[in-house]
Copies of this chain bind each other. A is one copy, B any other.
Amino acid sequence: MSRSARLRWSTASELLRLVYAEPGITRTAACERLALASGAATELIERLRGARLLAEHRADRGGPGRPTTVLGPHPRGPLAAVVDLSAAGWRVLLGDLAGALTEAAAGSYGDREPAGFLPEVAGAVGAAVRREPGRVGAVVAAVAGAVSGTRLLQFSTRGWHAADLGVLAGGPGVPLLVGNDATLGGIAEARGGAVRGARAALHILVAVGVGGALLVDGRPVTGARGAGGEYGHLPLGDPDLACPCGARGCWDLMVDGRALARHRGDPVPRDPFAYGRNVLDAVRSGKAPDRDRRAVERTARALGAGIAGLVNLHDPDAVTLAGLAPGLRAGAPEAFADAYRGGLMAFHRADPPPVADAVHGADGPVRGALALGFDEITGPAALARWGAHRTR
């Protein structure tokens, strides 16, 4: 990719990213935001229309003056394919520049290992790509487990072996991105969710264990291979407890359904997420015994204290909670707040970063994956490739 081509498409990239970030933005507003001169705007938008990257529709809002248009996705514009590998089953979706998602296929794992069902998923991806020829610019897999590069290392509760997700690639020239659900959920919160626009946001997901991400300007900090964000395997917990990950004292064991079970005197639950939700629902309804209340309190305290340490570490503007975490806080608000405040360094305590519940639920990871896909698609290099075939 030549340097001049990248430069040529860099303004186009900015505009398309703005349109993605703020669906329904008008042409005038977008140009003003980019400080784009009037003539340049005309030429740029005409070029993007010609390249099937953008379409305009009348914006009918009152007031005098020549009406402007709303910028939106071109009907034959680029799409991102999202592969959702959640605990419940798999889905393949297609999303456009407006953030509209349509399900293309879905299925369940049954009793199969990844090697068993991945070909099926890959087939669904391929079918979706072929159904919209030339339009799919990226495939993004959202995985409910630990990942490294395109490898799945560990999956939710299921005891799957590690597997390479490379088979999900959508064909030559279509990059495959893989992210875990906590990271992608964090992206969704930082870009269009509870902490939209935060410069640095910390997202914490409690499911089976704890995952999360630090988002800087909406981009996740995921380390060399995308395996970062494993907050649950910081040794913030009891050093006498061995974690299935191989280490000891992992925070994981202090804040999820397994912690609640331990405090209540139950054995390790088969599905810690469902177990945790049940306990929290019971406490929430007010009909739970004191033992349950205390278990939630201890767990919320461990959550709050750990988050405080992570705030010391990352200095975020704000924190978002997802999965069981909002329920844990709601079930023992004082315990959580005490532990949170108490764990902050003095200078943070004067002005603690607000802790908000995530606004995206189960669709957070998929929304984040779509955003990541369009980051790729709307980059200058990818646009230059797209435009090379479609302009004029």
By the criterion CB–CB under 8 Å, are B247 and A224 in contact? Answer: no
Residue among A162, A234, A306, A313 with most chain B CB within 10 A: A313
Set of chain B residues within 8 Å of A233, measured between Cβ atoms: 309, 312-313, 345
By the criterion CB–CB under 8 Å, are A247 and B312 in contact? Answer: yes
Q: Does A18 contact B (CB under 8 A)?
A: no
Q: Complex formed: what's the CA distance from A362 to B246 in Å? A: 37
Q: Complex formed: what's the CA distance from A166 to B272 in Å? A: 51
Q: Does A3 contact B (CB under 8 A)?
A: yes
A41 CB → nearest B CB, Å: 11
Q: Which of B3, B229, B234, B345 contacts A247 (CB 8 A)?
A: B345
Q: Complex formed: what's the CA distance from A214 to B153 in Å? A: 23
Q: Does A300 contact B (CB under 8 A)?
A: no
A40 CB → nearest B CB, Å: 8
By the criterion CB–CB under 8 Å, are B10 and A227 in contact? Answer: no
Set of chain B residues within 8 Å of A221, measured between Cβ atoms: 214, 216, 221, 314
Which residue on chain B has the smallest CB distance to residue A235? B309
A386 CB → nearest B CB, Å: 20
Q: A246-B346, A313-B230, A347-B148 are contacts. A306–B224 as well, Cβ < 8 Å?
A: no
Q: Does A248 contact B (CB under 8 A)?
A: yes
By the criterion CB–CB under 8 Å, are B310 and A247 in contact? Answer: no
By the criterion CB–CB under 8 Å, are A310 and B234 in contact? Answer: yes
Q: Does A88 contact B (CB under 8 A)?
A: no
A86 CB → nearest B CB, Å: 21
Interface string of A337-378 (1 = CB under 8 A from B): 000001111111100000000000000000000000000000
Q: Complex formed: what's the CA distance from A358 to B246 in Å? A: 29
A17 CB → nearest B CB, Å: 14
**How many residues does chain A have at the interface if contact means C-beta atoms less than 8 Å apart?**
57
Set of chain B residues within 8 Å of A34, measured between Cβ atoms: 3
Q: Does A58 contact B (CB under 8 A)?
A: no
By the criterion CB–CB under 8 Å, are A345 and B222 in contact? Answer: no
Interface string of A301-335 (1 = CB under 8 A from B): 00001101110111111000000000000000000
Q: Does A285 contact B (CB under 8 A)?
A: no
Q: Complex formed: what's the CA distance from A229 to B311 in Å? A: 10
By the criterion CB–CB under 8 Å, are A306 and B344 in contact? Answer: no
- Give chain A interface residues in 224-280, CB to chain B under 8 Å: 224-231, 233-236, 245-248
Q: A343-B235, A345-B230 are contacts. A224–B246 as well, Cβ < 8 Å?
A: no
Set of chain B residues within 8 Å of A342, measured between Cβ atoms: 247-248
Q: Does A68 contact B (CB under 8 A)?
A: no
- Give chain A interface residues in 27-72, CB to chain B under 8 Å: 34-36, 40
By the criterion CB–CB under 8 Å, are A234 and B236 in contact? Answer: yes
Residue among A10, A198, A247, A314 with most chain B CB within 10 A: A247
**20 further A-B pairs in the complex, CB-CB below 8 A; given A230-B315, A235-B343:** A7-B10, A148-B315, A162-B347, A200-B223, A200-B228, A216-B221, A221-B314, A223-B316, A224-B316, A227-B315, A230-B312, A233-B313, A234-B234, A234-B236, A235-B305, A235-B308, A236-B236, A247-B312, A247-B344, A248-B343
Q: In the A-B complex, list the 9 residue pairs whose CB atoms are closest, starting with the nearest.
A: A223-B315, A233-B312, A227-B315, A228-B315, A246-B346, A234-B309, A200-B224, A224-B317, A245-B345
Could you list 8 A-B pairs, sorted by A, with CB under 8 Å? Answer: A146-B347, A200-B224, A222-B315, A228-B313, A231-B313, A234-B312, A246-B345, A247-B312
